[in-house]
Amino acid sequence: MGSVAVKTAKEIDLMKESGRIVAEVLSLVGTRIAPGVQTRELDTIAEEYIVSQGGVPAFKGYGHDPSNLFPGTLCISIDDEVVHGIPDGRRLEEGQVVSVDVGVKKNGYFGDGARTFPVGRISADKLRLLKVTEESLYKGIEQARAGSHLHDVSAAVQTYVEAAGFSVVRDLVGHGIGRNLHEDPPVPNYGTMGTGLVLKEGMALAIEPMVNAGTYKVRMEKDGWTVKTSDGKPSAHFEHTIIIRTGNAEILTGQRSTL
């Protein structure tokens, strides 16, 4: 792991603008999620809004393999898809859960956020999965303050999730963020209190619990992007970009949902 950048007040102000757009995209897309809607329709809505705000979709064209760059503005992952689902002609169906992840670049700085939404009426088990996942995000954020250890965040997420009978994905983690979409440090959703990097005022993190109803194990689809649960059970994903402060962390990407 390289050195972890501490952002200046000016940099944080620029990140706040990207974070605002992320939050507004998630709210806007959330109002359009309903049975029968194609995932690519949601993607188009998001891209048009980002561009209208002077931003650039951070995920579009992202990737390490030039022959398989991510084609969408949003990652849209349905039911047993954990993350990185590709928007396409699929139509949402009543009873599904759909995770929407969006990154925005504006003025050279990034924001990143995600929420999982119910499609129409969902089962009590799925609703509980969503609530626990979102609550675990805030349990992690509560530990994210100057002087604490990075894995205090990780342990808080893991403890809350596992106490509810769910599992945290091990193969995917949160990350630092700023001038790049993914920076040091990696932010796992499992770990031991009192270990890891000591957090400093001005560090920027994207904390993102990915929580499975069944096993934590996942597998990659043939498209090279979509990650699914290995047992076919549903998954949920919530994410905020935050700034470390001496007291409570500053959240740049919106408020809690109204699940």
Please write the tens of the pLDDT for every residue from 231-242: 999 999 999 999
Widest distance between CA atoms in the chain: 48
Neighbours of 78 (CB within 10 A): 19
Which are the contacts of 12, defined by CB distance < 8 A and separation ≥ 6?
202, 204, 243, 250
N-terminal to C-terminal alpha carbon distance within the chain: 37
Is pTM beyond 0.95? Reply is yes
139 has a pLDDT exceeding 70: yes
Q: Which residue is listed with tokens 């990097």? A: 197
- Cβ neighbors of 85 (< 8 A, separation 6 or more) are 39, 75, 76, 77, 78, 99, 225, 226
For 9-50, the pLDDT digits (tens) are: 999 999 999 999 999 999 999 999 999 999 999 999 999 999
Give the C-alpha distances (Å, rounded to integers) separating 143 from 3, 81, 112, 176.
Answer: 21, 28, 19, 16
Instruction: Tell me which amino acid residue 103 is.
Output: G
Sign of CA dihedral 11, 17, 23, 29: negative
> Can you read off the two tokens belonging to residue 222?
């043939």
pLDDT of residue 255: 81
- pLDDT tier at 257, thresholds 50, 70, 90: confident
- Answer positive or negative: Cα dihedral of 103, 208, 238, 220: positive
Residue 62 tokens, joined: 């992202």
For 173-212, write each residue's pLDDT tens digit. 999 999 999 999 999 999 999 999 999 999 999 999 999 9
Read off the pLDDT of residues 104-134 as tens digits, 9 standing for 90 and up: 999 999 999 999 999 999 999 999 999 999 9
Residue-wise pLDDT tens digits, 83-111 = 999 999 999 999 999 999 999 999 999 99
> Where do the domains of the chain lie, and which CATH numbers do they carry?
9-251 (3.90.230.10)
- The pLDDT of residue 32 is 98
Which whole-number Å values give the CA distances from 165 to 53, 61, 161, 193, 196, in the listed order?
A: 41, 37, 7, 20, 26
Query: What gap in Å lies between CA 154 and CA 243, rounded to an integer?
Result: 16
